[in-house]
Amino acid sequence: MSLDPQWVRSHFPSVLNSETVFLDNPGGTQVTQSVIDAVTDYYLTANANHGGAFPTSERSDAILHQARIAFADFLNAARPEEIAFGPNMTTLTFLLSRALGRWMRPDDEIIVTRLDHDANVAPWVALEERGIVIKRVDINTDDCTLDMSDFERHLSDKTRVVAVGLASNAVGSVNPVRTIADLTHMAGALVFADAVAYAPHYPIDVQQLNVDFLACSAYKFYGPHLGILYGKYEHLDRLQAYKVRPAENVPPHKFETGTQNHEGIAGAAAAVNYLATVGEKFGAPYEADYAAFAGRRKHLKTAMRATQSYEKNLFIRLMNGLRELPGVRFYGITNPARFDYRAPTACFNLEGHHPQDIAAKLGAQNINVWDGNYYALSLMERLDLETTGGAVRIGLAQYNTSEEIDRILAALYKILK
C-alpha cells in the first residue's frame, strides 16, 4: 500500500496553494478542506449550546454525538461514552491526574519517563503536593529508547499509575506500550498513554493496547486544535470528576468541563472522516453517512497502515540525505531496519551551528522545522542539550513529498557551505 501524494495534497488548500514546505508537523499539521467546511457549516447551521429544546441546539448535540462515535472508531474504543473532548491533551491530562489523585494516599507511587513530552510528566509530578512519590524511567542514550529494565525496577506494589507515551514527540521512539500495560496491570496499577506523537502515523487500538486511559490531539492529524481523552468506561464511571454541580455526572460529560469547542469537535470528526477516505482508496467505496457505516474502523486502520508505509519510505530518503551532512549528530533510532519502531521524526544537530540558527535560515526559505526542546524537557536534559538550544526537528506527514525532502537537503547543504 502506498499513498498518492498528489491526491492527498489536493485535500489541503494551505499546502496546495503554498510554496511552504511543512516539516513542522509534530507541532501541528495543516487541515483539510473538509475540516474547514465542517467548522464553517457548524457556525452556519448549528451554532448553539448543549441541551436546548430548539433546532440549532439539537443539531449541535447530534454533531457532537457523531464526533464521539467517530473517535471511538479512530481509537477502536468499546463505546462512544469512553471518549471525552477538551481544549488539548495537556489540560485533559491535568484534569485526569487530579481525579486519579483523589484515589491515592501519601507514599503511593507514579511512574513517568524521561522520554515523554512534559504534558505527560508535569500533571503527574503536580501530585507530589499530595505526598505522591514520582519515579522516573531512564532511557538508553545511544538510541533514545526506554530502559525497560529500569522500568521494571521502578514497578512495585506501591505503583498506582504508569504514564508513558506511545511515541516520542522529539526523537520518534515507539514504546512497547502493550508490554508496559501488561506488567503494570500485574502490579495492580493503571496505565495512561500519551498518543499525541503516535496517532498521526499508526493505527491505534486501545483495546489491543489494553491501556486504561489514552489522550491524543486532533491538530496533529489534520484537524483543529482539540484534545481527545479515552478512558475505560468503568474507570470513568467511578472516578470523581472536578466539575460544576449542574453538569451531568456520567461519562463522558462529567469530564467535559464548561462549554466545549463545538465547532472544533465538528472539524475533528471531519479529520477522522478524511482519514477514512484515505483508507477507502484501498477498501470498500466511501459512504458519506458514517452514522450507519460499520466499515469506518476498517478504513481507518487501512489508512494508517498506508500512511505508515508511505512516511517510512520518505523518512529513509530523508535520513540517507542527512547522513551525508558534515558534522551531523542524530538522536534516536538511526538503523533503517528498526524504522518500524520509530515515528518519522528526525532530531539532530549540526556541529558548529545553533539549532535556532538552522531553523531560522530554513524558515527564510519557506521550509518549516522546529528547534529547541519541543516540551520534551526531561529528554533534552538527559541528553545534555537543554543548555545549548536543544536540537533541530523535522517531522513528516501524509502530504509531504520526495521533492520536499530533496529541497530541505539542498537547503541544508547550502547553509553548511
SS (H, E, C) 293-359: CCCHHHHHHHHHHHHHHHHHHHHHHHHHHHHCCCCEEEECCCCHHHHHHECCEEEEEECCCCHHHHH
The DSSP secondary-structure symbol of 169 reads T
Pull the grid cell for residue 107.
Answer: 507514599
Instruction: Going from the first residue of the chain to its last (417 residues), give the mean pLDDT of each consecutive group of 10, the final group possibly shorter.
Output: 88 95 98 98 98 97 97 98 98 98 97 98 98 98 98 98 98 98 98 98 98 98 98 97 92 95 98 94 50 74 94 97 96 93 97 97 98 98 98 98 98 95
Q: What is the pLDDT of residue 1?
A: 59
pTM: 0.96
Domains of the chain listed by start with CATH number = 5-33+298-416 (3.90.1150.10), 35-275 (3.40.640.10)
Helix (H, G, I), strand (E, B) or coil at 200: coil
Helix (H, G, I), strand (E, B) or coil at 21: strand
Q: What is the pLDDT of residue 280?
A: 84
Q: In the chain, what is the straight-line distance between the N-terminal and C-terminal CA atoms, in Å?
A: 39
CA distance 261 to 372: 30
Q: What is the pLDDT of residue 295?
A: 80
Q: Which helix (H) or strand (E) element contains residue 84? A: strand 83-86
